[in-house]
Structure 1
Amino acid sequence: MGSVTKSGCSWLKIVFLSLFCALNIYLFVISFGIDYKREMAKVHVQFSESMPTMDSWINSPFGKLKSYLFNVTNAEEFLSGRDKKVRLEQVGPITYSIVGYNDILNRTKSSVTFRKHRYRHVEFLPDESVAPDILNKTIVQFNSILIGAAAKAAQTHSMFTAIGFNAVTMGEKLFMPDSVYYFLWEFTRPGLEMISRWLSLVSNCGVLYNALKEKEEVFTVNIGTEPGVENFFRIQSYNDELLIQEQLKRPTGPIDESCPINVKGTLDNSLYPPFIEKDTPLNIMASESCRILPLHYQREDEHEGIKGYRYTLLKQNETAPNCLSITNEVRLPSGMFDVSKCVINDAPAAFSSPHFYGSSYDWTEHFEGLNPNAEEHEGFILLEPTSGIPLNEKYRFQSVTPMPNMDGYGHGLNKLSHVMVPTFWYEFEMGQLPLYVLVIMRIYANPYLQPILMGLQLFCAIGSLYFLVRLLRRLCKKICATPVVRLETVLNSHPHSNPESTLEHDSSKLENVLNPHLDPNQSPDLTSQNNLSKLETD
């Protein structure tokens, strides 16, 4: 029974090694005609729910939102005229953990529709802020409600408007002392609260209160190979529209095609197409500024040991498109663009890089204390080009109130004529990717992936063939082997003994040789018969 089991096991080994060898030879041969990375990309763009990176995408964006305010340290000196410039002191970071959620609404072979909840979970991180009790710290800020309302009123170019504005805002001050929490979450003024009862105005102008509000964002994007791998996750529609609707409210008349508000073919900044080249056009839908932002390739960079392409959000001295180059009749310097149609109450507002980095605006004429530099203030996105997955991101923008000619306005507003007033700036820092996503990206990005796998296939084929030959040779020896019978001649050591006794002794000895397991009590005749039968059988 044991020999039968061993024989069956040997045949199973032969079958397994044969199949394994044949499989690796087949894979090695066909590898000359296929591109492993492209085949992996075809699987990736299917965007199946079993995709390893799906969980990371569903719970995105994830990371840290860092806010920075400006504390005015010479408010009285500036208002009295002793100081000609406003001295600013940066306060921050005030850090919050952010986790979003992408809710898939519909899926087809070539598209997926999902609703993006950018700020599903928001939590203050005291230990990662500039101070654990920073929210309770008292600072002095520009009264942004006052200066925003004054800038809008100045559009009329009427002295009567200025007089009326001064009378209505008599109790307001240009600079306000209060807590950091107040400016971030509860910033309001009595006059605004009263007006908001009759007009459709938001009374709470807290920076984060409004920035982190839930906003309807429904994207339909390309998936699968039908639209083309290079078009993976490019937007088909945003809220069932091709144009960003907020920008259509402009009173300046029809918007031409140069205005960056058409979402067709842009990206939502969560995933990108695979096989990105340095000159691949990449534009993202920036919902917080209600525009399309082109990404500008800057250089190769590295994060977590993985190489990627670094793109900036704004080039230095970048000129805004015509439709976004003016805010409240104020021509914006290069490096800024209008966002007034994307903020509460249509307040006059523009975005720039923090501390006016990369802008042509000469802030040194009006402010002290700023320190623009690329390391701290340049916004960028780092993409792994083979997979199209973002490796790192620091999304940085500063909110600015552009002031027109303020002659005739009180509260010290006339000192802010033609000044770009910075109110705050923020940075969204992308969180750490899960380990399994990084492992997949390392495999994906390895330039020697195909040679390594082909070498492994060849090694497995040769190894399995070697063991298969050894096993077959061993099995053949067992099958072809013949039993050998050895006869032993025993000489009589007692030549003078009785011949019959000798013959009987020799016969008995021969029987013992032929049958070593002979029972001593067994009959000799029976023993002889058994031996004879055994010889006949052999």
Structure 2
Amino acid sequence: MVYKLPICFLSVGIVGCCCGLFLVPYIFHVVLKDIVTKIMVISPSSQIYDAWKNADVPIVENFYFFEVLNPEDALNGLKPQLKERGPYAYRITMPKVNISFFENKTVSFQNRYTYTFDESLSAGPENDTFMMINIPVATMVTMLEDLPRFIKASMSLTLKELGEEMFVEMSPKKLMWGYEDALFKFIRSITGDLFIPSDIFGLFIGRNNTGVGMFNIETGERNKSEVNNINTWKYMKELPWWLGYAKMINGTDGFMYHSFLSKDETLYLFNADLCRSVSYKYKRDTQLSGVPLWLFALDHFTYANSTIYPPNAEFCSENCPPSGTFPVAKCRDNSPISISNPHFLDGTEQLQNSVGGLHPNEKYHLNFLSLENIMGMPFELAIRIQLNIQTIKSSSIKQTGNIQTLQFPILWFEEIVTVDNDTVKQYNDGIGLALTCSNVVKYVMTGISALLVMIAVIIFTRKERLTKKMKAETKSVQTTEKTPLLN
């Protein structure tokens, strides 16, 4: 009976510590996972449906153009010197239209992109002008490279008559949304619509108020881990331009991933501008307005050629551009356009030094997703892409002069998505509050239980000392009593 109370304290304390450290977090995880996985499905009845349908988070797309500072020197074979101009910012809305749900738990839709120029976020008006490379001319020169000399000489005379040069004054508005091009007009006067459908040239022509094709994705009702995964794009299960694994359409559109992510996972995102899927790996922990996030960055080998990363031979196996650039001619009407990270980030030193004025920096040029791992939702996203065009010196086309053969940067753009304060508040009032409550219960229970264990140990220690003291006193008395009372 002497040790009944401390034994009780010790037992309750040990059980309480185990519950606080292991059982409470486990029960919380099971309950939270059940709730979140039910919420994070794409269905008209789900809590995320309106956000998925309307994409009502603020989206800004910034465009940075490369001004050519020394066009005459570049035509004489010297290194082109570039200056970044921008940003020229557009606010984007991209609601989903033509939504159809199917019995196999998939849904089809199109995104309708609308671009609205925002001068308050821009370095200047859309009609700013500066010297840039003439993309139609550079494209034509490259496409004529393997044709007979007399054809190229004829084109040189035509370009002279049309007043076309290798470099031209251009504005962001014209380059993006279109302008009447004399070369295109001339070619169409001969071939009609056979090769060129319009006299108008623009990098984003036809993009405003339209989409990039029909998607079919998993709703997550059949398999929670596949929510938002893309099944088909433009009714294609595979991409026809590439070989092997490169043909696969992997991942999501970036709106959401499955809940309860792991840092060891590779996340895939399909990007229609790249005509391919790309992969992201965990890089570091970060946060936004106090919300803990995991930053996943674009794999460094994404734009490497096959000499550096052999599997990329499935995208290009011969006549490939320098490592650090990805050729998209096959899915862009054979236009000699390549894709890269801004300022050739992750490219070779030779590529980065091929033109002047580039300053690759992860802080400004990294392509990344910052996700809240429980929901699998990006709270911050920066998709950054640079467009380059191949330049070739042609002895038969005088407009090229002695220009170097290189991947010439045109512009780079970034799609920036950052959730608003309402989304942060919803997180804090929901998952954030639940995590806080779980931690409070965990630490309070563990603390009280640990205190009971300490009290039990103290009682045991004191009783043990008292017992030893009593034994010592008893032994002393017994020793004294053995002494004779009379001599």
The residue identity in structure 1 corresponding to 2:356 is: E
1:357/1:281 CA distance change after superposition, 3 Å: closer
Could you tell me which of 59, 63, 66 is aligned with 1:67? 63
Query: Matches of 2:207 and 2:415 in 1, distance apart?
Result: 12
The aligned residue for residue 353 of structure 1 is 341
What is the RMSD computed on CA atoms of the aligned residues?
3.1
The aligned residue for residue 174 of structure 1 is 166
Query: Matches of 2:442 and 2:294 in 1, distance apart?
Result: 28
| CA deviation profile, 1:44-92 (whole Å, cap 9, x unmatched) | 234343433332222227411111111112223443x4x8222211111
The aligned residue for residue 335 of structure 1 is 324
2:430 is equivalent to residue 443 of structure 1: yes
The aligned residue for residue 165 of structure 1 is 155
Task: Give the CA deviation at 1:267.
Answer: 1.2
Task: Give the CA deviation at 1:291.
Answer: 0.6
The residue identity in structure 2 corresponding to 1:241 is: M
2:145 is equivalent to residue 150 of structure 1: no
For the 8 Å contact 1:110–1:223, the answer to whether it is kept is no
The residue identity in structure 1 corresponding to 2:154 is: G
For the 8 Å contact 1:354–1:377, the answer to whether it is kept is yes
Query: Matches of 1:69 and 1:353 in 2, distance apart?
Result: 14
Describe the SS at the equivalent of 2:364: helix
Could you tell me which of 89, 94, 98 is aligned with 2:88? 94
Describe the SS at the equivalent of 2:199: coil
| CA deviation profile, 1:181-233 (whole Å, cap 9, x unmatched) | 22232334212123233424143222332554723522222224432x22222
Superposed counterparts of 1:117-266, under 5 Å: 117-119=111-113, 121-131=114-124, 134-156=125-147, 158-170=148-160, 171-196=163-188, 197-201=192-196, 202-212=198-208, 214-227=210-223, 229-245=224-240, 247=241, 255-259=242-246, 261-263=247-249, 266=251
Unaligned runs of 5+ in 2: 1-22, 306-311, 445-487
The residue identity in structure 2 corresponding to 1:182 is: K
Task: Give the CA deviation at 1:431.
Answer: 3.9
2:37 is equivalent to residue 42 of structure 1: yes
Query: Matches of 1:455 and 1:313 in 2, distance apart?
Result: 38
Task: Give the CA deviation at 1:434.
Answer: 5.4
Describe the SS at the equivalent of 1:308: strand
For the 8 Å contact 2:42–2:227, the answer to whether it is kept is no
Q: Percent identity?
A: 19
For the 8 Å contact 1:401–1:420, the answer to whether it is kept is yes
| TM-score computed with the length of structure 2 as normaliser | 0.75
Task: Give the CA deviation at 1:387.
Answer: 0.4
2:298 is equivalent to residue 313 of structure 1: yes
The residue identity in structure 2 corresponding to 1:226 is: R
The aligned residue for residue 13 of structure 2 is none
For the 8 Å contact 2:393–2:400, the answer to whether it is kept is no
Query: Matches of 2:239 and 2:349 in 1, distance apart?
Result: 28
| CA deviation profile, 1:440-477 (whole Å, cap 9, x unmatched) | 36733664554657999xxxxxxxxxxxxxxxxxxxxx
Query: Matches of 1:191 and 1:290 in 2, distance apart?
Result: 27
The residue identity in structure 2 corresponding to 1:336 is: T
Query: Matches of 1:32 and 1:167 in 2, distance apart?
Result: 78
Query: Matches of 1:334 and 1:441 in 2, distance apart?
Result: 44
The residue identity in structure 1 corresponding to 2:115 is: V
Superposed counterparts of 1:349-428, under 5 Å: 349-360=337-348, 362-363=350-351, 365-404=353-392, 406-416=394-404, 418-428=405-415
Unaligned runs of 5+ in 1: 1-27, 248-254, 457-538
Superposed counterparts of 1:272-291, under 5 Å: 272-291=257-276
Which deviates more, 334-343 or 275-284? Answer: 334-343
1:410/1:241 CA distance change after superposition, 3 Å: same
Query: Matches of 1:244 and 1:256 in 2, distance apart?
Result: 9
Which deviates more, 360-369 or 235-244? Answer: 360-369
The number of residue pairs the alignment matches comes to: 409
Query: Matches of 1:139 and 1:335 in 2, distance apart?
Result: 27
Describe the SS at the equivalent of 1:347: coil
| TM-score computed with the length of structure 1 as normaliser | 0.69
Name which structure has the greater RCO, CA cutoff 8 Å, separation 6+: 2
1:161/1:279 CA distance change after superposition, 3 Å: farther
1:366/1:293 CA distance change after superposition, 3 Å: closer
| CA deviation profile, 1:138-171 (whole Å, cap 9, x unmatched) | 2111111100111111144x43343233233223
Query: Matches of 1:46 and 1:368 in 2, distance apart?
Result: 48
The aligned residue for residue 78 of structure 2 is 84
For the 8 Å contact 1:136–1:180, the answer to whether it is kept is yes
For the 8 Å contact 1:73–1:88, the answer to whether it is kept is yes
Query: Matches of 1:413 and 1:361 in 2, distance apart?
Result: 26
Query: Matches of 2:425 and 2:301 in 1, distance apart?
Result: 32
